[in-house]
Amino acid sequence: MDTLQLKERVAYHAVDTLFSEGKIFDGMKIGLGTGSTAMPAVHRISQLLSSGKLKNIYSVPTSFQTSIECEKLGIPIYSLSSRQIGGSLDLAIDGADEIDPDKNLIKGGGAALLKEKIIAYNSKEFVVIADDRKKVKSMGKGFALPIEIIPEARLSISKTLEAQGLTIILREGVKKMGPVVTDNGNFIIDVRWLDNAVVDPKALEESLNKITGVVENGFFTKNTPRIFVVDKDGNIEDL
């Protein structure tokens, strides 16, 4: 199977497993993630709705990409602050860019980390689907840590992080000149540590957000997820 087929396999398996366990149910409030692994899960939920097996769900998308896809598929969408949702969710399903042995995550490859985190941290259960290339022993070495920042603070934040020995790259757009602009009107910087650096995701999630002008960073450590991982042969682990 190619990568796209593997992503679809693990996404469908995760949704079907959660449905059979009663964790995807009629009338539920569900957060729907962003990216190439999360999108097949959105499609599978749409199929359950179309078949009548699932009814009357309340979905909160994590990005414009997911909102548009939900509109195309006929999945009803709400904001987290809408009366029907009331600020909390039963379940959120999303992908990840890195997963360490303690189930800490790096997310934000699709530049949607702020809303992804708001939704993940306000869900009773958080489920992540991924292929096994995302499993790492230490974070921030292979995949850079995305940080969403206020544009005006770009230089001051970069200087602060560079003084700590970090490498900073302002993320550039694809088919767009200039920097990536998030759904919230901010910039994304991608941060890397030296190869011999000790990265503590829990401590860094807190400390990075204390820097003036940082909106949010891509460490996800505060709502330990259930993780479905597929290997290159199509075998799926439920972690």
In the chain the domains, ranked by start, together with CATH numbers, are 3-136+221-234 (3.40.50.1360), 145-219 (3.30.70.260)
Any residues with CB less than 8 A from the CB of 24 and at least 6 apart, and which?
15, 18, 30, 45, 48, 54, 91
Residues 17-65: tens digit of each pLDDT:
999 999 999 999 999 999 999 999 999 999 999 999 999 999 999 999 9
41-47 long-range contacts, CB within 8 A, separation 24+? 41/11, 41/12, 41/14, 41/15, 41/93, 41/129, 42/66, 42/69, 42/70, 42/73, 42/75, 43/11, 43/73, 44/11, 44/12, 44/15, 44/16, 45/15, 45/75, 46/73, 46/74, 46/75
Active site residues: 116
* Residues contacting residue 82 through CB under 8 Å, at least 6 positions apart: none
The model scores a pTM over 0.85: yes
Confidence of residue 212 (pLDDT cuts 50, 70, 90): very high
Examine the pLDDT at 94 and tell me if it is beyond 90.
Answer: yes
Residue 180 token pair: 């990536």
The CA distance from 237 to 164, in Å, is 37
What is residue 197's predicted lDDT score, i.e. its pLDDT?
84
Other CB atoms within 10 A of residue 232 CB: 12
Sign of the dihedral defined by the CA atoms of residues 192, 221, 120, 154, in that order: negative
Q: How far apart are CA 210 and CA 223, in angstroms?
A: 20
Report residue 141's pLDDT band, with 50, 70 and 90 as the boundaries.
confident
CA torsion, ordered 205, 207, 213, 215, to nearest 10 deg: 20
The confidence score (pLDDT) of residue 119 equals: 98
pLDDT tens per residue, range 163-204: 999 999 999 999 899 999 999 999 999 999 988 888 999 999
- Is the pLDDT assigned to residue 87 strictly greater than 90? yes
